[in-house]
Structure 1
Amino acid sequence: MSIVSVNKACMSGEKNSDWLLLIIALSIMLLIVAYPPVFINALGRVQYAPLLLLLWAMSAGFVRGIGFIPRQLLVRLVLSRMACYFTLATFIEIFFIHRLANY
């Protein structure tokens, strides 16, 4: 990608940002900072799988929320819109399955 094509993309007014993903990423960030016991199980240990999924969703939300699209295919797939939605949905499913199974 040359400087000329980057200039054209910037001058065309094309907006690649996604406000919903940015709001999701900010919400996840606030959840992690404000209430970290979400990731602690009944035995007092950290649940790493749900934490990993939530951090992945947050990362993808920030990357796509500000409008950055990676060049490499693998990174583009890992930090895509669908990856954010999928990891967030998987976190919610795992979170509620574990919470309901413990009661």
Structure 2
Amino acid sequence: MITSSDSTVVLSPEVLPATKESQSSAAQSGWRGLSLCIALTIMVVGSAYPFFFTLPGAPADKPVHHGYVMVLLWAMCAGLVHGVGFVPRWAPWRWLFSGWACLFALGLAAFLRTQAWMIA
């Protein structure tokens, strides 16, 4: 902080040496952005076109593959939590809502969707 003669306060940024924490947070900002984009895409597509959650050619009594929807919503939740920068304290929650969990759930959802297409 720098003060001038007319008693106004001018804030100046302090120059800090780069630490591992600041470097890792800068590297994770793109990763968090990817997680947030994945989550927002799932949210918007699911809201705009809810038939995305149903299976093509499925019988009327079972149009939804609940395992597929569950892992897709897990990917959305993990992407939102990780994307906004929240880090849970409890280790199982931290893994469940990490960026890796988001990608894993998204891959598992894609796998279940392709398997459901083969079965249907």
TM-score, with structure 2 as normaliser: 0.68
Of 40, 50, 54, the match for 2:72: 54
Structure 2 unaligned spans of 5+: 1-20
**Residue of structure 2 equivalent to 1:72:** 90
Alignment: residue pair count: 91
1:43 maps to a residue whose letter is: P
Of 26, 41, 53, the match for 2:40: 26
Runs of 4+ deviating beyond 4 Å = 12-17
**Residue of structure 2 equivalent to 1:43:** 59
- Determine the C-alpha separation between the residues in 1 that align with 2:34 and 2:112: 22
**Residue of structure 2 equivalent to 1:88:** 106
Q: Secondary structure at the match of 1:58?
A: helix
Structure 1 unaligned spans of 5+: 1-11
Residue by residue, what CA displacement relative to the aligned partner does 1:13-56 show, whole Å, maximum 9, x if unpaired? Answer: 75665110000000000121112122223113222111100110
1:59 maps to a residue whose letter is: C
Larger helix proportion of the pair: 1
Greater alpha carbon shift after TM alignment, 77-86 vs 34-43: 34-43
Percent identity, please.
36
1:99 to 2:117 alignment: yes
Q: CA RMSD in A?
A: 1.8
1:81 maps to a residue whose letter is: G
Higher relative contact order (CA 8 A, sep 6+): 1
Q: Secondary structure at the match of 2:114?
A: helix
Larger Rg: 2
Residue by residue, what CA displacement relative to the aligned partner does 1:37-95 show, whole Å, maximum 9, x if unpaired? Answer: 22223113222111100110000000000111111111101111111000100000110
